[in-house]
Amino acid sequence: MNNKVSFLTQNFGKYDTSSIDSYMKIGGFSALRKAVKMEGEDIATLIAENKVRGRGGAEYDMGRKWSQARKVPGNNHIIICNADEGETTTFKDRELIKNDPFNLIEAMIIAAYVMRATDGYIYMRAEYACFRPLLLNAIRQAHKYGFLGKNILGIEGFDYEIHLYSGAGAYVCGEGTALIRSIEGKAGRPRMKPPFVKVSGAFARPTCLQNVESLSLVPHLLLDDEKVYQSYGVGDSVGTKMISVGGNVRHPGAFEIPFGTTVRDIIYGLAGGIQGDRKIRLIQFGGASGKIATDDILDTPYTYQDLRAHGVMVGSGALCVVDERTSVIDFLRINQDFFSEESCGQCTPCREGNLHIKIILDKIKAGTATKEDIAVMEKIARVMSMSSLCGLGETAQNTLRSAIEVFPEVFAVGGAEA
C-alpha cells in the first residue's frame, strides 16, 4: 500500500509562507470564493459526506458539529482554532502552521461564513511562539486583500476578524472551556458543562472550536471535485490523517498517511524502524492521555475502528514508540509526572488522584506495593475517569488503565498482604 500521501499537505513547500501573492498563485483563496457561492449547510454536508472526524482527539463528527453550530441562533458566533497542541509526542499542527499558514486562515474564514461568525481566535501554545510572526503576517495580508474585515469578498454583512492569542504553558488549556477562559483573559481553569460552548462559549457567545488539522482540511475538501480524498482510507475511516511519530524510532516526524496503513508500515516504513533494531516494549497512541499496546498491534490497520477494537484510539494522531530499554513501570511514572504537573488542581479527583497514583507507582517500582495498593490505585483511576471536572482528569489514567490490561504481570503482587 502506498503509505505516504499529500492531500492535506499538498501545499507544503509549494509557496512562500510569508506572501499571500505566492499563496494565491497556487490557487489560494479559491476554496473561499467557491464556498461563498454555496449554502453554509451544504458545506457542513460536504464535510459529513467525507466522514471527517475532529482531529483534536475527541473524534466527533465534524460535519455534524458544523451543522449544529450554525443552527444556534445569533449573528455573532465565534470560531476558535485550537493550536494548543499539548499532548506529548504530538507535533502535527506545528507542521501545518509552519508550512501552510494561509490555508489555515482561509479555512477559518470559510468556517466563519458557514457559522455566521464575526470573530475568530487562533489559540496557539506559547511553545510555538516562533510562528507568531508568520501567522500575524498572514492575517495582516489577508486583511489587506479584503479576505478579512468588513464586507468580505463584497458580501454585504460578512464581517470577520481573526485574533491570535497565546497560551503560556498550560496543558489543560487544550480543553475547550479552559481555552475559552484563557482567551477571556483569565486563568485557564475548566468549567462545568452545560452550558455547552456551542451555545455559550467565549464571551458567552456561540462558539465553534476546532483543531488546526480539522480546519486545514476544509479548503482542500471544497476543491476536491474528483473526490480524491474519498479514494483514500478504508471503510468508515475515510481519507488521510496527519500523524506524528516519536520516541525510540530512527526517523521521528510528522507524516500524512491514508487511513488503513498498518502500524508496522508507519513505524518500520515511515519512521525508519527502532533505534539499534531493538524490540518494542510498548506503543502509546494519542499522546499522554492515550492508551498503550504491545507490538502485537503492528499488523493492525491505522483506522478509527481497528485501533478501537485493539483497545487504543487515534486520538491526537501521536504514536510514541518505546523500546525495551524502558520498563513499563518507568514509562508509567514518566507519564504520571506529566499529569501530576499539568493537573490544574481545581477538582479533587484529579488533583488528589494524580498525587496518590504517583505515590503508588513509586511503591510498585520499589517493590513495596501491596495488593491493597494496587486495588486502591485501580479504584482511584476509575473514580477519576468518572468524576473529574474536565477531560484532563477523565483521560489522565487511560494509559495506566490500559497498562493494567496489557501488562497484568507488572501489577501482580505476590506475598506482602496489607
Partner 1 sequence: MLTEPTQAYPLPDTLREKIDQVLETHDYDYTQIVGILLEVQDLNERHYIPEPVAYYIAYRLDMRVTNVYDIINFYSELSDKPRAKYPIQVCSSIACRVNDSASLAATLKDILSIDFGETTYDGRFTLEKVTCFGACDRAPAVRINGHVYDHLDSRAKIEHLLASLD
165 belongs to the binding site for partner 1 (CB under 8 A):
yes
Backbone angles phi, psi at 278, to 5 degrees: -75, 175
Contacts with partner 1, 92-111, as mask; x by CB under 8 A: --x-----------------
**Contacting residue, 54, 167, 233, 315, with partner 1 by CB under 8 A:** 167
Q: Judged by CB under 8 A, which of 10, 68, 166, 327 binds partner 1?
A: 166
336 is a contact residue toward partner 1 (CB under 8 A): no
Residue 244 and residue 288: Cα distance in Å, rounded?
13
* CA torsion through residues 272, 298, 228, 314, sign: negative
Least Å from the CB of residue 288 to partner 1: 7
In the block, residue with C-alpha cell 467565549: 202
187 binds partner 1 (CB under 8 A): yes
Residues ≥6 apart with Cβ < 8 Å to 32:
106, 109, 110, 113, 147, 153, 219
323 interacts with partner 1 by CB under 8 A: yes
325 in contact with partner 1 (CB under 8 A): yes
Give the number of C-alpha atoms closer than 13 A to the C-alpha of residue 165, restricted to the C-beta side.
25
Judged by CB, which is closer to partner 1: 98, or 371? 98
* Residue 402 interacting with partner 1 (CB under 8 A): no
The grid coordinates listed for 391 are: 477531560
Question: Between β-strands 280-285 and 292-293, what pairing exists: parallel, antiparallel or unpaired?
Answer: antiparallel
Write out the H or E segment, with its range, that includes residue 108. Answer: helix 101-115
Least distance in Å: CB of 113 to partner 1?
A: 24
* Binding residues for partner 1 restricted to 39-98, rule: CB under 8 A: 85-91, 94
Single residue of 176, 252, 315, 391 touching partner 1 by CB under 8 A: 252
Q: Smallest distance, Å, CB 97 to partner 1?
A: 11
In the chain, % helix, strand, coil (3-state, to 5) comes to 45, 15, 35
* Minimum distance from residue 10 beta carbon to partner 1 (Å): 21
Report the distance separating Cα 183 and Cα 46, nearest Å: 30
Residue with cell 486520538: 315
Site for partner 1 in 232-251 (CB under 8 A): 244-248
**Omega prior to 195 cis, within 30 of 0:** yes
> Rounded distance, CA 267 to CA 251, Å?
9
Q: Does 277 bind partner 1 (CB under 8 A)?
A: no
Stretch of 28-36, 52-60, 321-329, 358-366 lying at the interface with partner 1 (CB under 8 A): 321-329
The binding site for partner 1 (CB under 8 A) comprises 85-91, 94, 125-130, 165-171, 182-189, 244-248, 252-254, 284, 288, 320, 322-323, 325-326, 331, 334-335, 337-338, 341-342, 344
